Structure 1
């Protein structure tokens, strides 16, 4: 009865037959002598069959075991869920992103040597479970039969430091979670711990936020703050992006418009598609780990795996790209990402205007960013907390946020694709961040964020002109959004968005030790010689 309910809630076809057979705590030896533990879920009567491998730091039991192990096996897929090094019974130290390639390859070779595996392997999972797939897929010979990549990317470094800025909210949240995930009752809701973690994001120096959040150090936060410097190659072992174009494995991807990996994952998709690998992609109106995304993701992965492991190809009859158009509440199918569009510039104009025309001789607009009272963040692609779209009016009323608003739209405008901004800026200190956000303002004046991006400036990067003005090219997250007739486009420009991004102290002191900061005056230029703008991919199909 419970299995039928799970299938119904996930939108899966009803699975018939006996319960799967579960073998707990399989000992998988690693080359360095460490033993990793795994659970095997097999359809009843399995002798030798393909295996779906899922490698996770979050434990093999509970919801993950039921959603992946039990559900996949009830639908005919033999599944092995392994705890990564140093987590939930597996030996060694849990150092996120370390040794996943070595451990993954060793695990795959061990599986292929088992009598109950016919040699065919595929992988599945989401987020870090996607990282463990990228750490294995490009390096295995013979190759995997399929990879199912949910809300993940071939490299995580750009998510640790988007635009060169430490993603403080996400890094502290995840560090606090993994730092206590094996404690008793850690899986239960804990409002007190949630508030403590959020307060810890303001702790200075930021490297001490782990102790402030959970009372003990977390190695990952120490790593991610210590190596937050330009050109640091510490995370090279976690970057598999150079292997994407060479990957010879069928790939299916699922992500959401408010997922923290959206930009990197769509870059992976484009590289695969341009290399002729024919990946497929689904993008929904979801944030990272949102419950509403679980059914679509599991359906996608189950159908793709059954096609490539069991020969059931009924779920392959669809367009390569399926995406949800926000604001229109509809799904669209395309042959490629991004779909054809017209690059349309909206220029920042004097006195807070926004439009296609450039002002001839407008004076720059100024504001001051103070790290002692950092510009707050609202919504967006967060790992935890209040994510997705939120009312931005309170933030927009602050003196350290510039707001540029267009006229009411005479017709619906569909923006589908990659969004960017060019901001000509002069700062007093040279060390600064430029945060740009695109919003949708409805008829009642409520301003809701659609997409945004940030770029860290430092002396010499980008190079300044003779007047000390730099051209900041800010990459915003891709989107698919319908701005309704009568609504207005709005662009925010600020010196930060805290605690989503670590505050900029205005100095070259490293984040591991920075405590004091300096107020920083910004001048944003928007004249014909320095036309600051956002560039939108307007879809007309």
Structure 2
């Protein structure tokens, strides 16, 4: 059994005062309250409040909430930072997701009744504490005037459920079942890693729970017999009262597919879409930037680096809250879309996404490993390419931590040299090409095994041969002995392909340990067990050959 690092709550910030907020069922949730001014001269007159509800310790170093709260307070906001139910100093069970609507509502109600509150509340936060904003908004509480969720989604976290009506399904993240065994197991955070070489993850989970002497409520809710508890009383998080939203997505955030799914859902709800503002940055989940200075690309940020990070992280939200919470200006003063053209330092504004004037360009793979745009040209005859998926020799994930991809900013060119990765290269660009909008792939695949995972990665290859992943998608085909056509969403791009650079596509059947790998027998990857190599097939050429559709704003793909 690996070592278990237990992280209890950190001391509460001296810049705040503690509070215990009673929920409707009597459970008390711990909060820190920050008021503008020095602690001994705090401004307790009624004012606007920012609420942050998170499971990662409201007082801890990981999310540096005390520094964030003090930054908001310096801008005149009262701040309430709260441990969600069952975490750190809060009472109750550590049960993922399902209590956040009601607990968010009850916390908003408590804030509205405090003498230092004027009844107007905004919410801010990343990841799970972005999710708690969507949940609080779904409660319909009238005190919530604006939210600013970052790198998150309303569908965050739960395991992939099979859909018997289709042969395709999403591929499971490796971290999915680990989250309720680490961050959401009990009040404290328990940090440990399975032995990724063993791959009998379910057995290792049982060993872990035996070691700590208790079972995990959230884990047992999910595995092995899932109990589906509703997250949102209205079914959809966007079924009820809408809230002005500043929605931040990272081009390299591994949770970005969840964010983009929410963008699509919001577009179908006019009351939400009317005041949905999108901000797309060249960041990953941990807010590392593509063009990060070398001295700031470090796993543990210093106190000064954290303070330097605050303005670019919080100022957009403050400007948004000033309009929708304080009434300083109107919605027309704020752009609907602010986006980073990755590969440059440029921020652009648009009335909608994708930008006006874009066009779709299809690239077709060829049997000799090419990738070409030839519009109007007939495809070459269909050819079937093959490779072996060997559960004993999986394609490795490129970054040590998928949540901080840009910390490593890995060169993925060596992965394309493997025998179990198909590689397709376009010609070098003769001028800069700006890509802005959706990317998708269409593939016809089959396997001699019952389940086939198909990963498609789009890379920017520099003249020196190094390759940066700029888009990706993956999808699973069940009953894979019968060929199937997969429409794979690779997400969205806002990226400048420089002169002399080329696009490359990698196709593989594993990406481990970021995604759980197939044992080759159709068995549950979390359980593992017996394994068997599979022979995989992909078609190039013909009507169903591998093609990639990109959205081009400026320039021409070769």
TM-score by length of 2: 0.81
Please say if residues 359 and 528 of structure 1, whose CA atoms lie closer than 8 Å, have aligned partners that are also in contact: yes
2:532 match: 518
Task: Note if contact 2:275-2:331 (Cα within 8 Å) is conserved in structure 1.
Answer: no
Measure the CA separation in 1 of the matches of 2:104 and 2:130.
12
Structure 1 residue 224: deviation in Å? Answer: 4.9
Change (3 A) 1:212 1:510: same
Q: Is the 8 A contact 2:221 2:227 kept in 1?
A: no
Unaligned runs of 5+ in 2: 1-12, 37-41, 162-167, 290-308
Post-superposition offset of 1:61:
1.6
Aligned to 1:126: 126
Q: What's the counterpart of residue 53 of structure 2?
A: 55
> Does the aligned pair in 2 maintain the 1:28–1:38 contact within 8 Å?
yes
- Which residue does the alignment assign to 2:484? 470
Question: Of residues 229, 247, 251 in structure 2, which corresponds to 1:253?
Answer: 247
> In structure 2, do the counterparts of structure 1 residues 363 and 65 end up closer, same or farther at CA, with 3 Å as the change threshold?
closer
Tell me the distance in 1 between the aligned counterparts of 2:380 and 2:102.
59
Equivalent residues in 2 for 1:347-426, closer than 5 Å: 347-357=364-374, 359-379=379-399, 382-384=402-404, 389-426=409-446
Structure 1 residue aligned with 2:156: 156
- Taking a change above 3 Å as real, the CA distance of residues 310 and 260 of structure 1, as seen in their structure-2 partners, is same
TM-fit CA distance, 1:42: 1.5
How far did residue 399 of structure 1 move? 0.5
Which shows bigger deviation, 488-497 or 242-251? 242-251
**Where does residue 282 of structure 2 map in the other structure?**
285
Contact 1:281 1:320 (8 Å CA) reproduced:
yes
Deviation, 1:208, is: 4.1
Match of 2:21 among 17, 24, 28: 28
| 1:385 to partner: Cα distance | 6.5
Query: Could you tell me how far 1:388 is from its partner in structure 2?
Result: 6.5
User: Residue 83 of structure 1 corresponds to which residue in structure 2?
Assistant: 83
SS state at 1:96 partner: coil
Preserved contact between residue 49 and residue 78 of structure 1 (Cα < 8 Å): yes
Does 2:477 match 1:457? yes
Aligned length: 501
Cα distance in 2 between the residues matched to 1:273 and 1:176: 35
Structure 1 residue 69 displacement after superposition: 2.0
Cα offsets for 1:283-339 (capped at 9, x unmatched):
221111225665322111222223333334499744221111122332222111122
Alignment partner, residue 195 of structure 2:
200
Please state whether the residue corresponding to 1:287 is helix, strand or coil.
coil
Tell me whether 396-405 or 56-65 shows the greater mean CA deviation.
56-65
The residue aligned with 2:305 is: none
Of 314, 317, 320 in structure 2, the residue corresponding to residue 298 of structure 1 is 314
Change (3 A) 1:481 1:218: farther
Change (3 A) 1:135 1:114: same
Contact 2:89/2:187, CA 8 A, preserved across alignment: no
| Separation in 1, partners of 2:22, 2:132 | 17
Does the Cα contact within 8 Å between 2:457 and 2:469 map onto a contact in 1? yes
Residue 528 of structure 1: aligned partner: 542
How far is the alpha carbon of 1:55 from its aligned partner?
0.9
C-alpha contact 1:171 1:221 (8 A) present in aligned 2: yes
The residue correspondences of 1:178-189 to structure 2 (distance < 5 A) are 182=188
Change in 2 beyond 3 A, CA 1:129/1:314: same
Taking the aligned partners of 2:234 and 2:400, their CA distance within structure 1 comes to 26
Q: Say whether the 8 Å CA contact 1:175–1:210 is kept in structure 2.
A: yes
Tell me: CA distance 1:206–1:91, structure 2 relative to 1, closer, same or farther (3 Å): same
Judged with a 3 Å threshold, the aligned counterparts in structure 2 of structure 1 residues 386 and 502 are, in CA distance, closer, same or farther, namely farther
Residue equivalent to 1:492 = 506
Distance 2:390 2:455 in 1: 14
**Cα displacement (A) at 1:355:** 0.9
- What TM-score, normalized to structure 1? 0.84
Which residue in 1 is equivalent to 2:111? 111
Q: Who is 1:13 aligned against?
A: none
Unaligned runs of 5+ in 1: 1-19, 187-192
Matches within 5 A, 1:261-340: 261-273=255-267, 275=270, 276-290=273-287, 294-313=310-329, 317-340=333-356
For the Cα contact (< 8 Å) 1:200–1:213, is it kept in 2?
no
1:502 to 2:496 alignment: no
Q: Shift in Å at residue 108 of structure 1?
A: 1.6
Query: Does the 8 A contact of 1:429 with 1:506 survive in 2?
Result: yes
Please name the residue that 1:234 is paired with.
Answer: 228
Q: In the alignment, is the contact (CA less than 8 A) between 1:241 and 1:268 conserved in 2?
A: no
- Tell me if structure 1 keeps the 8 A contact 2:459–2:503: yes
Classify the secondary structure of the residue corresponding to 2:237: helix
Note if contact 1:389-1:450 (Cα within 8 Å) is conserved in structure 2. no
CA distance in 1, matches of 2:47, 2:380: 70
Whole-angstrom CA distance in 2 between matches of 1:493 and 1:512: 23
Q: Is the 8 A contact 2:253 2:285 kept in 1?
A: yes
Q: 4+ runs of 1 displaced by more than 6 Å?
A: 158-162, 211-214, 238-241
What does residue 7 of structure 2 align with? none
What's the CA shift for 1:174? 7.8
Question: In the aligned structure 1, how far is the partner of 2:349 from the partner of 2:405?
Answer: 31
> How far 1:169 sits from its partner (Å)?
4.3
Greater mean alpha carbon deviation, residues 489-498 or residues 307-316: 307-316
Q: Are residue 168 (structure 1) and residue 174 (structure 2) matched?
A: yes
Distance 1:269 1:484 in 2: 29
Q: Is the 8 A contact 1:112 1:120 kept in 2?
A: yes
Are the structure 2 counterparts of residues 338 and 202 from structure 1 closer, same or farther at C-alpha, using a change threshold of 3 Å?
farther
Which residue of 417, 436, 439 corresponds with 2:459?
A: 439
